[in-house]
Copies of this chain bind each other. A is one copy, B any other.
Amino acid sequence: MYEESVRQNRTKNHFKLALTELIKEQGFYSITVKDLVEQAQYNRSTFYVHYHDKFEMADDLQHELLHGLEEAVQLPYKRRRTINTEKLNTSHFEIISYVYQQRFYFDLINYDDTLPGLHRSLPNKFLDIYKNYFAFETIGDQPVNMDYFKHYIALGFYGLIQSWIQGGFQESQDDFIHEVIELSKTHIRSVQYIGDL
């Protein structure tokens, strides 16, 4: 496994930024490598040093974003917020924080001709996270189909994030968190993060 140097990452980040800008302007499909290097202000050779083609690059960006979400969930409690977390666990804050911090990129879900596969992979990542990192307790003794339940919760949370993104992040991060808490009080009362047990 090769480590990527700081310099290489810097260059790749410039390309990712350029790609995102161009997707918003003209859509993914019509973008050429020439467009990319002009936007990013690099030589065409430089692009090929880092990527084989624009699809590899799009994958790289997409994986980075999805991986970032997963990492956010696993963050230790250092960065815990000074907010009443009675009903919402820390991981949810970290996810929201990460999305907001990377909002320029997550904004890509507002476009149709965007990172290939993003519209499927992003909700799927939320599902994954709920499957792998969260445990639930049922309230009362009525039996629940846990698989359905996780789908329900995961996609519900994704829906909230989605509407926040689609609204152009009108609400501040803190306002949004409060909204989510209010909603969770009525609907996801039983969520428990494994790390909390």
Complex CA gap A170/B64 in Å reads 31
| Contact residues in B for A41 (Cβ distance below 8 Å) | 6, 10
Complex CA gap A6/B46 in Å reads 14
| Contact residues in B for A10 (Cβ distance below 8 Å) | 14, 41
Assembly of this chain: how many copies? 2
A6-23 vs B, Cβ < 8 Å mask (1 yes, 0 no): 100010001000000000
Complex CA gap A66/B144 in Å reads 64
Complex CA gap A14/B6 in Å reads 13
Complex CA gap A6/B14 in Å reads 13
Expressed in whole angstroms, the minimum distance between the Cβ of A123 and any Cβ of chain B is 30
Interface centre among A6, A10, A14 (most CB of B within 10 A): A10
